[in-house]
Amino acid sequence: MSDTTTGFFRNRFIQAILVSGILLQTGIWVRNFAILLFVMDRTGNNPLAVSLISVAEFAPIFLFSFIGGTYADRWRPRITMIWCDLLSALSVFLVLLTIIFGTWEAVFFVTFISAILSQFSQPSGMKLFKVHVPGEQLQMGMAMFQTLMAVFMIIGPLLGTFVYQRFGINIAVGVMGVAFLLSAGALTFLPPDKRDAKEKTETDFWGELADGFRYVWLNRVLTVLGGVFIAAGLAVGIIQPLGIFVVIERLGLPKESLQWLMAVNGAAMLLGGGVVMGLSKKIAPQKLLAMGLLVSAISVAVVGLSTSLVITLSFQFLSGLFFPCIHIGINTLILQATREEFVGRVNGVLNPMFMGAMVIMISLAGWLKTQFSLVTMYEVSGALFFAGMLLIVPIFNRSDPRGQDSAGAEAE
C-alpha cells in the first residue's frame, strides 16, 4: 500500500465517515428490500404500489435538495449530519409503532422521511470532504465511497431479504432505526467544525440560493453536468422500479431472485471501484464519466432484450463494472469545479435535475408498463444514457476540469 493510500486511511475524517457509511448502508439496504418484498406481498405484485416506493424515496430528494444544499452552506456540517441521523432514527421508531398498531401503509413514510433528511446530510458530507481531504485525494475518496456502495450491492439485498423473510417487517424496521442511531454515534468522532463555519442566519437565504444557481450557470463544467444529470435521471427513472419485472417476466424467475442480479451487479461494482481507485490519478474524471455512460447505455439495452439468465447476468456485471466511472467521475468533477463555500448549493442545484427527471419517470413507470412493453422501456433508457454520454463531448479533452475562473469571480 502506497504512502498516499496509507495517509488517506489514517485521516480521522475518513475513518469516521467510513464507519458511518457502513452503518447507513446497512439500514438503507434492509429498508429497501424489506419494504419492497413486504409491499409486494401485501399488494400481490402490483406495479403501481412498487413504483410508489420509489416515489416515496426520490420525490423528497427533488423537493428538498435546493433547500438542503443551501442550508448545508449555512450550518455547521458535522452537527447537521449528526442531527439528521438522529432524526431519521426517531422517525423510524415512530413508524414502527404505527405499523405494530395495524397501519402497514406507514412503511412508505420510513423511506419518505429519511429521504428528506438525507438532503441536508449528504451535501454536508460533500462539504466536509472538500475541507478535510487534500485535492489530490478527492478522486480516491469518491472511489472509496463507490467501493463501499458496491460491497453493499452484494450483501445488502441478501441482508434485506434475510431479515424480512426470517424476522418480518417489524424487526426489519427496528434494524433500520438502530443503524441510523449508531451512524450518528460514529459521526461524533468527526473533526470539529471550523470555528468560522457559523450559521449564517443573518444573511438572506433566497439570495444565497440564487447565488448557487448563478454559480452553476456561469461554470461550463457544471452546466454540462446539469444536462448529463437530466438525461441520466430520465434513463434511470424509466427502469428503476422495473428490475423485479425483468426477473419475473423476461427470465421467468421468482421475485426473490432479484437479489442475485443485484449481487452480481454489486460484485462488479466492487471490482470496478477498486480498479478506478488504482487509476484515479491517470484518467481524467470527464473521461471516466463518458465511459460509464456509454457502457450503461449498451448494458441496459441488452438486459431489456434478453430472456437468457446468462446474458442478463453478464451485462449486469458489465454495467456494474463501469458504474463506478459514473459516480466517481461526477462527484470528482463537482468537487474540483466548485469552491468550498458553494459545495452545498451546487449539490442542491444539480441533484434536483437528476432526481426531478427520475421522479417524473418513476411516477409514470407503473402506468407506462401497462402501455408499452418492458423491452421498449429499457431501449429508451439505453438511448438516454447514450445521449448523456454525448453531452460530455464539449469538456472531454479539457486538461483542467475546474472551469471556474469566470464563474468564481462573477458568482461572488
Please provide residue 220's backbone torsions phi and psi, each rounded to the nearest 5 degrees: -60, -45
Query: Does residue 291 have a pLDDT over 70?
Result: yes
Query: Does residue 48 have a pLDDT over 50?
Result: yes
- Residue pLDDT, tens place only, 351-369: 778 777 877 887 787 788 7
pLDDT confidence of residue 409: 37
Residue labelled with grid coordinates 471490482: 271
Query: Does residue 6 have a pLDDT over 70?
Result: no
**Cα–Cα distance measured from residue 377 to residue 369, given in angstroms and rounded to the nearest whole number:** 8
Residue 380: partners with Cβ closer than 8 Å, 6 or more residues away: 238
- Is there a domain that residue 198 lies in? no
Query: Does residue 226 have a pLDDT over 80?
Result: yes
- Is there a domain that residue 172 lies in? yes
- Highest average pLDDT, of 110-124, 216-230, 289-303, 360-374, comes from 289-303
Here the cell at position 342 is 458553494
pTM exceeds 0.85 for this model: no
- Highest average pLDDT, of 39-43, 59-63, 83-87, 103-107, comes from 83-87
> Residues 118-126: what's their mean pLDDT?
80
pLDDT > 90 in the chain, percent: 11
- Band of the pLDDT at 23, cuts 50, 70, 90? very high
pLDDT confidence of residue 172: 87
Find the length of the chain.
412
Between 71 and 197, name the one with better pLDDT: 71
- Highest average pLDDT, of 40-54, 155-169, 214-228, 377-391, comes from 377-391
- Is there a domain that residue 78 lies in? yes
Range scoring the smallest mean pLDDT among 176-185, 212-221, 297-306:
212-221
Q: Are 355 and 62 in contact (CB under 8 A)?
A: yes
- Is there a domain that residue 195 lies in? no
Mean pLDDT over the full length of the chain: 79
**Cα–Cα distance measured from residue 230 to residue 234, given in angstroms and rounded to the nearest whole number:** 6
Residue labelled with grid coordinates 444544499: 69
Q: Are 96 and 180 in contact (CB under 8 A)?
A: no
- Is there a domain that residue 199 lies in? no
Residue labelled with grid coordinates 452553476: 216
Between 408 and 203, name the one with better pLDDT: 203
Here the cell at position 157 is 439485498
Query: Does residue 208 have a pLDDT over 60?
Result: yes
- Band of the pLDDT at 281, cuts 50, 70, 90? low
- Residue pLDDT, tens place only, 238-261: 887 788 888 888 888 887 778 778
* Of 268, 325, 272, the residue nearest 294 (C-alpha): 325
Instruction: Give the CATH number, domain containing residue 57.
Output: 1.20.1250.20
- Residue pLDDT, tens place only, 303-331: 989 888 899 999 989 988 888 788 778 87
Please provide residue 219's backbone torsions phi and psi, each rounded to the nearest 5 degrees: -110, 115
Widest CA span in the chain = 61
Count of domains in the chain? Answer: 1
Give a three-class secondary structure readout of the chain.
CCHHHHHHHHCHHHHHHHHHHHHHHHHHHHHHHHHHHHHHHHHCCCHHHHHHHHHHHHHHHHHHHHHHHHHHHHCCHHHHHHHHHHHHHHHHHHHHHHHHCCCHHHHHHHHHHHHHHHHHHHHHHHHHHHHHCCHHHHHHHHHHHHHHHHHHHHHHHHHHHHHHHHHCHHHHHHHHHHHHHHHHHHHCCCCCCCCCCCCCCCCCHHHHHHHHHHHHHCCHHHHHHHHHHHHHHHHHHHHHHHHHHHHHHHCCCCHHHHHHHHHHHHHHHHHHHHHHHHCCCCCCHHHHHHHHHHHHHHHHHHHHHCCCHHHHHHHHHHHHHHHHHHHHHHHHHHHHHCCHHHHHHHHHHHHHHHHHHHHHHHHHHHHHHHHCCHHHHHHHHHHHHHHHHHHCHHHCCCCCCCCCHHHHHHHC
Q: Are 345 and 69 in contact (CB under 8 A)?
A: yes
pLDDT confidence of residue 146: 67
- Is there a domain that residue 258 lies in? yes
**Cα–Cα distance measured from residue 90 to residue 386, given in angstroms and rounded to the nearest whole number:** 42
pLDDT confidence of residue 404: 46
Please provide residue 116's backbone torsions phi and psi, each rounded to the nearest 5 degrees: -60, -50
- Residue pLDDT, tens place only, 142-199: 777 767 876 786 788 788 888 888 888 888 888 888 999 999 999 888 888 765 444 4
Here the cell at position 180 is 441510523
- Is there a domain that residue 105 lies in? yes
- Is there a domain that residue 223 lies in? yes
Query: Does residue 370 have a pLDDT over 90?
Result: no
Residue labelled with grid coordinates 454540462: 224
For 297, the domain range is 7-190+204-411
Number of other residues whose CB lies within 10 A of the CB of residue 324? 28
Q: Are 340 and 127 in contact (CB under 8 A)?
A: yes
Here the cell at position 218 is 456561469
